[in-house]
Amino acid sequence: MNSSSTRTDQDPRVRVLEAAARQSLHAPSVFNTQPWRWRVTGDALELRADPDRQLAHTDPDGRLLMLSCGAALHHARVSLAAAGWAVTVERLPDPSLLARVRTTGPADLDVPAGRLVDVIARRRTDRRAYGDRPVPEAVLARLGDAVEAEGAQLHVVRPDQMPMLAVSTGRAADAELADPAYREELHHWTHRPAGSGDGVPAATAVRPSPRRVPLRDYAPGGAAGLSAGTDFDRGAAYLILFGDSDEPAAWLRGGEALSALLLTATAEGLASAPLSDAVELAWPRRMMRDLLAGIGDPYLVVRVGWGPDGELPPAPRRAPADVIEVVDQSRGLVRPVPS
């Protein structure tokens, strides 16, 4: 290795940006597609969408792809803040370059960010049934504050709105399962090759059971690896994440807010599970907008509550070398990071 590449590898900014990109590999994504790529270049970390990982049928507009990439962006941002680095973020909602995170120098350690970073690796999408204990209003308020800090908003579904949420979600799920193209896409992402590091394997799927709001069946006709448990989500809170507009820049910010919501919920000891069924088709998305009384555009529904005991298996994750690359500016070379 020559001296120029050695200097690049030893640059503390490169190391910290690479570490932030590695943390982002834990971010949630639709069907666990992990549709993002990172490039470390000098003092910047560049986020790009991976169009080959977009769900062409389930997510033709790229709404869920952008939310997923936004979640990865937030994971990287809080990792840098917790490591004591100040950054600027330029959001460019073009798939070829969604955002550029640039380090501007050392900063005081961000204690709240450190609290979120501490739970990144242990956050799970928990599709099991939650218990009867309600989520305290103070906790819901803190979740709302976390979302608003990222430029989005949160609506707690009221008891009188629950029937509409349950019916629209259930009917949307039935409509999708009746569509051969959806079933093919679902099968593709639930039957991934060994070592692919993505998708929703049967081991992490939950067997169907009575719920207040139906959950997606990731193993229709198959053998899901997890039981829902003995509870029925009676104490669960259902949250609609929404924003002021329905366009790519807002979806990206919505994904950052989603990450803030899920990490804050985990830090509060809550289980959580995003529910995208209710926004994947146009007509249930309109019903979610009605639940918001027309004040915003819905991006996602999230269920939070007190989950059952027992650790969940981790979701597969892609290898860093498949997602992150570093530019050696002195030599004009691009290399993958070691896994």
Q: What is the 3-state secondary structure (H, E, C) of 187-215?
A: HHHHCCCCCCCCCCCHHHCECCCCCCCCC
* Bridge partners (DSSP) listed for residue 101: 45, 89
Count of other CB atoms within 10 angstroms of residue 61 = 14
CB 44 within 8 A of CB 103: yes
Residue 9 scores a pLDDT above 60: no
Count of other CB atoms within 10 angstroms of residue 104 = 10
Q: Most distant CA pair in the chain: distance in Å?
A: 67
CB 55 within 8 A of CB 30: yes
Task: Find how far residue 215's CA is from the centre of its chain.
Answer: 17
Residue 7 scores a pLDDT above 50: no
User: Which of these, 59, 321, 55, lies nearest to 199 by C-alpha position?
Assistant: 55
CB 253 within 8 A of CB 150: yes
Burial class (CB in 10 A: 0-12, 13-18, 19+), 169: buried
Residue 165 amino acid letter: L
pLDDT band at 12 (very low <50, low <70, confident <90, very high): confident
pLDDT tens digits, one per residue of 247-304: 999 999 999 999 999 999 999 999 999 999 999 999 999 999 999 999 999 999 999 9
pLDDT tens digits, one per residue of 67-89: 999 999 999 999 999 999 999 99
Q: Which residues of 248-265 are buried (b: 16+ CB within 10 A; e: fewer)?
A: bbbbbbbbbbbbbbbbbb
- Secondary structure string (H, E, C) spanning 24-65: HCCCCCHHHCCCEEEEEECCEEEEEECHHHCCCCCCCCCHHH
Burial class (CB in 10 A: 0-12, 13-18, 19+), 225: middle
CA distance 79 to 121: 12
CA distance 156 to 141: 10
Give the residue-averaged pLDDT of 145-174: 97
Residue 183 scores a pLDDT above 50: yes
Mark out the alpha helices in the chain (DSSP H runs).
Answer: 3-10, 12-24, 63-82, 111-120, 137-148, 162-177, 180-190, 248-267, 277-280, 282-291, 320-323
Residue 199 scores a pLDDT above 90: yes
pLDDT band at 11 (very low <50, low <70, confident <90, very high): confident
Two tokens, residue 70: 């936004």
pLDDT tens digits, one per residue of 173-182: 999 999 999 9
CA distance 331 to 60: 39
CA distance 24 to 18: 10
For 53, phi then psi, to 5°, come to -105, 5
